[in-house]
């Protein structure tokens, strides 16, 4: 029997007031000089960078940006996969007083243009290989382009040019208000409309790192930890919980440019990985590897963090049964820097199917459609406030006003809270289906389908039927060698019907090779809806 978690999280790791991201990172570089800060596995052989070398490169690059005419408050685009240059570019930009806006390295020209234009970026740090076929003309604010490994288009410069030992350009003086100075401008992958720039301050990011470190808890991240990060650094999950947290804490961060199951398993063994950041699809791949005897038996993994997308309870149980590694599920959003909730590892509070409890100084309310608090155990929209929440959306006052009201952020996510104060995400409010007045949560149907041994992956969306009702439709990725026929579909429908009330059973089942997902692992439901 568990006990209430109320009052367990009250303190931050440190006081974030007045601290800037680059200052905290550089202070860590001075304290951990000879220790390895980053291992970049995209280099051959892998590149190992000490804290002292990292700090020196950040300062040199920042002076190089200042000498190139970058001024405080201007925006610099970072269009790179996970690599050591990403970290240097990011921290050098903030040290120079600039605002980094990070772009998905799989973006096409239209998407790159939109973000650089909307953010008024004056410089771009990328690589020639990523810029092939992308025309950067027509961006009046863009003055400079740097490439890290492969030369870029005419007029671009090599990133190495910023590391000029003779450059004595003075860095900007101390900024005064960490609460109002932007530290990053990521773009939200919202489910409707064009992406919006999320204005996150230095105070937001430093506070969120200090909230995530959770002093005194079982499994707390320590200087001795070695974290594997294949989740993209351009996404706020990888940036905060990977890059910034590790470097501020004095850990070693091992970077992979993308998830490769076989290679990641080799790295887990070779580099004595103790922690890794995951999304549900990577946990599924690890389960399959373990069941095939490919997961290393001798490993030092203390726990894994799962976030960015709902985690099916059966997948959580299966992963731990296969590997012996506990899962710490977390919850958050770009607008919250991103962490608002984290699970517990203590036996009395360990519930991997739950996103845990709020991190310190995060207030939560669960409201119904009339904006009244719901009784314990009932579902409602999660509304929160805390030091990690954004200042607003870039150039979008109406969108800001729609989600930030009197200091409270309206998440659009439907949750319930159990008697012990643990939170469970039911679904996105805008993704909830209604059938004859009954609500259907796609994530609930998906979690049941994933329990079936035939199913490797799945996504559920709605379609309007002849009666005008929303009916659930399932897109299913079968395990190899299984027949995608009506008999299989009927078996899956019956499986759900045996476990959920009748109206939640998928009326239609479509078999696909893969599901469209964001880089952070969320199902792109709008793409599935197009298919029906």
Structural fold of domain 434-531: GMP Synthetase; Chain A, domain 3 (3.30.300)
Secondary structure class of 403 (helix, strand, coil): helix
Answer for the pair 36, 48: CB distance below 8 angstroms, yes or no. Answer: yes
What Rg do the C-alpha atoms of the chain give, in angstroms?
Answer: 23
Answer for the pair 253, 37: CB distance below 8 angstroms, yes or no. Answer: yes
pLDDT at 194: 65
What is the SS3 assignment for 37-67?
Answer: EEEECCCCCCEEEEHHHHHHHHHHHHHHHHH
Return the closest-CA partner of residue 525 out of 465, 445, 423: 445
CATH architecture of 203-429: 3-Layer(aba) Sandwich (3.40)
Q: Assign residue 392 a region: left if phi > 0, alpha if psi is -120 to 50, beta otherwise?
A: left
> Residue 385: phi, psi to the nearest 5?
-150, 155
Would you call the peptide bond into 45 cis, given omega within 30 degrees of 0 as the criterion? Answer: yes
Answer for the pair 236, 308: CB distance below 8 angstroms, yes or no. Answer: no
Q: Residue 378 to residues 9, 124, 386, 419, 522: CA-CA distances in angstroms?
A: 24, 48, 23, 11, 25
CA distance 409 to 386: 9
The domain segmentation of the chain, as residue ranges, is: 21-174, 203-429, 434-531
| DSSP-derived secondary structure for 96-150 | TT-EEEE--TT--HHHHHHHHHHHTEEEEEE-HHHHTT---TT-TT--EEEESSS
pLDDT at 470: 86
Residues 6+ apart with CB under 8 A from 350: 326, 343, 344
Answer for the pair 214, 13: CB distance below 8 angstroms, yes or no. Answer: yes
pLDDT at 323: 96
pLDDT at 111: 87
Residues 6+ apart with CB under 8 A from 486: none
Over the chain (532 residues), the average pLDDT of each successive run of 10 is: 83 96 98 98 97 98 97 97 98 98 90 94 98 94 98 94 92 88 85 75 98 93 97 95 98 97 97 95 92 93 90 90 95 95 96 96 96 95 98 94 95 94 85 73 88 94 81 94 94 92 91 89 87 85
pLDDT at 429: 67
- Asked if domains 203-429 and 434-531 share a fold, the reply is no
CATH architecture of 21-174: 3-Layer(aba) Sandwich (3.40)
Number of Cβ within 10 Å of residue 321's Cβ equals 11
Give exposure, 397-425, as e/b (b: 16+ Cβ within 10 Å).
Answer: eebbeebbeeebbbbbbbbbbeebbbbbb
């Amino acid at each position: 029997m568990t006990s209430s978690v109320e009052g367990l999280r009250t303190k931050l790791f440190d006081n974030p007031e007045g601290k800037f991201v680059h200052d905290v990172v550089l202070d860590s570089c001075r304290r951990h000089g000879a220790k390895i800060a980053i291992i970049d596995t995209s280099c051959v052989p892998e590149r190992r960078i000490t804290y002292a070398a990292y700090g020196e490169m950040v300062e040199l690059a920042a002076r190089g940006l200042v000498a190139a005419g970058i001024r405080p408050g201007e925006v610099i685009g970072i269009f790179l996969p996970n690599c050591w240059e990403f970290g240097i570019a990011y921290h050098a930009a903030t040290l120079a007083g600039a605002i980094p806006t990070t772009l998905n390295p799989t973006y096409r020209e239209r998407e790159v243009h939109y973000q650089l234009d909307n953010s008024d970026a004056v410089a771009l740090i990328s690589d020639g290989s990523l810029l092939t076929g992308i025309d950067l003309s027509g961006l009046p604010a863009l003055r400079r382009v740097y490439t890290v490994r492969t030369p870029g288009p005419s007029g671009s410069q090599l990133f190495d040019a910023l590391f000029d030992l003779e450059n004595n350009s003075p860095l900007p003086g101390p900024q005064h208000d960490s609460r109002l100075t932007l530290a990053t401008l990521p773009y939200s992958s919202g489910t409707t409309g064009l992406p919006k720039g999320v204005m996150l301050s230095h105070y937001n990011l430093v506070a969120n790192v200090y909230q995530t470190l959770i002093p005194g808890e079982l499994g707390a991240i320590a200087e001795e930890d070695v974290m594997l990060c294949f989740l993209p650094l351009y996404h706020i999950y990888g940036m905060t919980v990977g890059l910034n947290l590790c470097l501020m804490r004095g850990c070693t961060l091992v970077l992979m440019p993308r998830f490769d199951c076989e290679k990641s398993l080799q790295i887990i063994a070779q580099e004595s990985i103790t922690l890794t950041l995951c999304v549900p699809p990577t946990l599924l791949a690890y389960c399959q590897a373990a069941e095939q005897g490919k997961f290393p038996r001798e490993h030092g993994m203390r726990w894994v963090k799962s976030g960015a997308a709902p985690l099916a309870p059966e997948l959580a149980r299966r992963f731990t049964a296969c590997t012996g590694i506990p899962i710490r599920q977390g919850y958050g959003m770009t607008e919250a820097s991103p962490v608002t909730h984290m699970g517990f590892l203590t036996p009395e509070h360990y519930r991997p199917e739950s996103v845990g409890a709020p991190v310190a100084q995060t207030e939560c309310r669960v409201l119904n459609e009339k904006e009244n608090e719901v009784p314990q155990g009932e579902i409602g929209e999660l509304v929160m406030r805390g030091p990690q929440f954004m200042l607003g959306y870039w150039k979008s006052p109406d969108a800001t006003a729609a989600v930030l009201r009197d200091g409270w952020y309206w998440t659009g996510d439907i949750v319930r809270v159990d008697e012990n104060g643990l939170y469970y995400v039911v679904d996105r409010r805008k993704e909830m289906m209604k059938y004859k007045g009954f609500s259907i949560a796609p994530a609930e149907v998906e979690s049941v389908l994933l329990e079936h041994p035939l199913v490797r992956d799945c996504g559920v969306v709605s379609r309007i039927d002849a009666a005008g009702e929303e009916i659930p439709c399932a897109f299913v990725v079968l395990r190899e060698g299984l027949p995608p026929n009506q008999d299989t579909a009927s078996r899956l429908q019956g499986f759900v019907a045996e476990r959920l009330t009748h109206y939640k059973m998928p009326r239609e089942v479509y078999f696909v090779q893969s599901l469209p997902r964001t880089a952070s692992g969320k199902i792109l439901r709008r793409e599935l809806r197009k298919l029906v």
